[in-house]
Amino acid sequence: MVTDELDYTFQAMGSDIRLLIGHPLHPKAPSPLEAADGQRAFVLGFAHRLSRFVADSELSALNHDPRSRVPASPLLRAAVNAGLWAAERSGGLVDPTLVQALERGGYARSLDGVAPASLNDALAAAGARAPAAANPAAPWRLVRVDDEAGVIERPPGVMIDTGGTGKGLCADAVGYRLGAYTRFVVDCGGDIAVGGVGAQLEPYQITVEHPLSGEPIGTVGLARGGVATSGLNVRIWRNRDGSFGHHLLDPSTGSPAWTGVIGATALGESALEAETLSKMALLLGPAGARDVLRERGGVIVHDDGSVEAIGPIGLHRAAARTAA
C-alpha cells in the first residue's frame, strides 16, 4: 500500500477537494506540495469564474449578456462544451439550460454551508416515482461554441449552468496537469479522476458512500479514468411551502426527479464521462440505470436504501457494523 504520497484537501465548489499526489517523474517537476498549491489556485479560479452564484463571474456575464454572440474565454468555452457534450451523450437528460427551472425550484443561491434537508422526509413526501425524460424542445441544441472565433452563441435568455458537469471537467483538468507524477487522485466533491503509472501497478480503492447513512457501501478499484457519484442527499432543501427540492431535475418538467434511485455511482474513461453516466442512471430510475451502467459498471441505491451493483464494477462490500 502506498503511504508516502501527498494527501492535500481544501474547500471549493461547495465541496471538499482532495488531491493525492505521488512522486515526480522528472527531476525538474515541482514537488508534490508545490504542485498541489498550484492546483488549488487553479481550482479556486475555476470555481469563481464558472459560478452562477458569483455576480462578476464569466458565467454570470454570459447568462446576462443581451447579445446572441458573446466573446468567451477558453475556460468558459470548455465548460460550456462539456455541458453540451453531456447533453448529447445523455440524449438531453443532463441538460445545461435548466438555470431558470433551478431558480424557480429554490436553488437561486448557493447552498454552501446550509445543512441539507432530510432525504428520508423528502422521499416520504414525494409523489409517484417515474423516470425523467429530455425536454422535447431541446434548448441546449441552440447553444454553440465557436472556438475559432472565441465566442459562444445562444438566443438571449437561454441561461447555462456549468455546475452539472463542472466538477468532472475540473477533476480531469487537474489530472491532466498532474501527469508528471507517478500516481494521482483528484476528487472534486465525488467526481474523481485517477491516473499515473503507479496507479496502474497498484489501483486506488475508491470508497462509495450510502446517501442515507453516509456509511461506506464498499470500495471500487480504479487504476485510471474516472468514477463519480450523484446523489439526492447533498443538494436537497425544503421550500417555504413545505415542498422539497433538489438539484437533479427532470428536463421534461423542470421539477425535481423522483425516479426510485437516490444515488448512483458510475465508472468512465474520464471523470466527466463518469459524472454524466451517474446522473443519467439516477434520472432514469432502476431499469434505465441498469442499461446505462451495464457496460462500464456502477452502483445504484434504491429509495428503500437497498444497494445494487451493476456490470463490471468490482464492488468490494464493506463489512456490516454490529452494535457494541
Quote the mean pLDDT of the chain.
95
* Phi, psi values for residue 71, rounded to 5°: -60, 140
Of 2 and 16, which is predicted with more confidence?
16
Residue 322 has pLDDT above 50, yes or no: no
Which amino acid would we find at residue 204?
Answer: Y
Dump the DSSP string for 110-148: --TTPPPPPHHHHHHH----------TT-GGGG-EEETT
Q: What CA–CA distance (Å, rounded) separates 200 from 11?
A: 28
pLDDT category at 297 given cuts 50, 70, 90 is very high
Q: What CA–CA distance (Å, rounded) separates 208 from 221?
A: 11
Q: What CA–CA distance (Å, rounded) separates 3 from 97?
A: 43
Residue 163 has pLDDT above 90, yes or no: no
Please give the pLDDT value at position 146: 98
pLDDT category at 164 given cuts 50, 70, 90 is confident
Tell the CATH topology of 6-317. T-fold (3.10.520)
Using one digit for the tens of pLDDT, what is the confidence trace for 27-58? 999 999 999 999 999 999 999 999 999 999 99
Using one digit for the tens of pLDDT, what is the confidence trace for 55-106? 999 999 999 999 999 999 999 999 999 999 999 999 999 999 999 999 999 9
Please give the pLDDT value at position 321: 52
Q: What CA–CA distance (Å, rounded) separates 9 from 114?
A: 20
pLDDT category at 318 given cuts 50, 70, 90 is confident
Closest CA to 261 of 239, 237, 238, 293: 293
Please give the pLDDT value at position 2: 54
